[in-house]
Amino acid sequence: MKGFLIASILSTSMLFANGGGTGFDMMIVLQMALLGAVFYFFLIRPQQKKARAHQEVLKELRRGDRVVTAGGLLGTVDKIINDGEISLEIADNVKVRVVKATVTEVVSKPHPVTEAAKTTAAKVATPKMAKPVSAKPTKAIKKAATKAKAATNSAAKKTASKKPTKKSK
């Protein structure tokens, strides 16, 4: 890129050194096209994507959403007044009307209650009977029980073998 820039500057300066050419210089057209492409891909296009995403966020606003405004207000959408205004509850029983376009981000959305969620909640609310545990202990349980019993017995023997010491005054 740097070499291209230097070459274009040198070609332009040589053009003027020869007495200011009267012909058409293709290099200037290419530079302008390249500059236009850079501006489009690095500045204009990302800004358009961001604006489209912001419009989608504003379209999907609904009652109960926690939002942040451009002024820094954090509140819950209480009511959508019209296409351009919403009512925010910023504290208990404190409501303000703000322009919808000032909403910068949605912090959290409440989950909508669907039929699937209702049936899942009903299933969770009714407990199921657990499978009965077999009365016979398995080999692993027996092995663990004998290890625990042996460890308890050896610890009891160690404390019993220690002789109490008398402190003399």
CATH of the domain at 100: 2.30.30
Task: Give the CA-trace dihedral at 60, 61, 66, 67, to 10 degrees.
Answer: 100
Q: Is the pLDDT of residue 8 over 90?
A: no
Same-domain pairing of 11 and 31: yes
Q: Is the pLDDT of residue 9 over 70?
A: no
Whether 136 is in a domain gets the answer no
Same-domain pairing of 20 and 51: yes
Q: Tokens for 64, please give them.
A: 């109960």
Please name the residues in contact with 31: beta carbons below 8 A apart, sequence gap of 6 or more.
8
Q: Tokens for 118, please give them.
A: 């209702």
**Can you give the C-alpha Rg of the chain in angstroms?**
39
pLDDT digits (tens, 9 = 90+) for 34-90: 999 999 999 999 999 999 999 999 999 999 999 999 999 999 999 999 989 999 999
**Domain span at residue 12?**
2-55
Whether 130 is in a domain gets the answer no
E strands along the chain, which residues?
A: 66-69, 74-80, 85-91, 94-99, 103-108
Whether 27 is in a domain gets the answer yes
CA dist 82 and 66 (Å) reads 18
Question: pTM score > 0.75 for this model?
Answer: no
Same-domain pairing of 48 and 67: no
Same-domain pairing of 51 and 66: no
Same-domain pairing of 70 and 107: yes
Same-domain pairing of 48 and 7: yes
Whether 6 is in a domain gets the answer yes
Q: Is the pLDDT of residue 125 over 70?
A: no
pLDDT value for 119:
63
Same-domain pairing of 7 and 51: yes
Whether 144 is in a domain gets the answer no
Same-domain pairing of 107 and 71: yes
User: What is the tally of structural domains in the chain?
Assistant: 2
Whether 86 is in a domain gets the answer yes
Higher pLDDT residue, 165 or 41? 41
Whether 44 is in a domain gets the answer yes
Same-domain pairing of 66 and 49: no
